[in-house]
Amino acid sequence: MSPLNKNTIHEKLFKLQEYTKILEELRMEGRDAFFADYKTQDSAALNMFTSIEMITDIGNHIITEVFQKQAKNYAEIIALLGECGIVPPSFAKENEDMMKFRNLVAHDYDKITPEGIYENLQKAPDIFRQFAKYFVEFMEKQSVV
């Protein structure tokens, strides 16, 4: 078992907390305000994308260092988080579609719609907080907090 870089994980968790707070504020502005302002839409998309990157970075680090497994792609990172018991398997399964949103923002940005961003914004802050909670719990079990 390799050691986890707890400083890196803590830094990423802190950033994830910041992005999640921004997303929560955007979500609280409401539907009308969201659709009236393209800057709000862009901010939501970017902060969700970056949050997903944080989750996959942390998850991949844990999977690689603790379990010596290599994910072939982003979606497999989420699946392995469930298989390895870092997050509940049902939670991993429920959230594997977040990679579709990530890939849309990264590669098919011309297909992004305000409706799609808004729909993801409604659930993203809660999901991201839950991932962070599971990561912290896993690290506590590993005695690396």
Residue boundaries of the structural domains of the chain: 17-140
Q: Answer yes or no: is pLDDT of 117 > 90.
A: yes
Across the chain, mean pLDDT equals 93
pLDDT at position 6:
86
> CA-to-CA distance for 16 and 138, rounded, in angstroms?
17
CA angle 88, 43, 37 (to 5 degrees): 130
Cα radius of gyration (the chain):
15
pLDDT band at 109 (very low <50, low <70, confident <90, very high): confident
Model-level pTM?
Answer: 0.92
Q: Answer yes or no: is pLDDT of 1 > 70.
A: no
* CATH 1.20.120.580 is the classification of domain 17-140: yes
Q: Answer yes or no: is pLDDT of 79 > 70.
A: yes
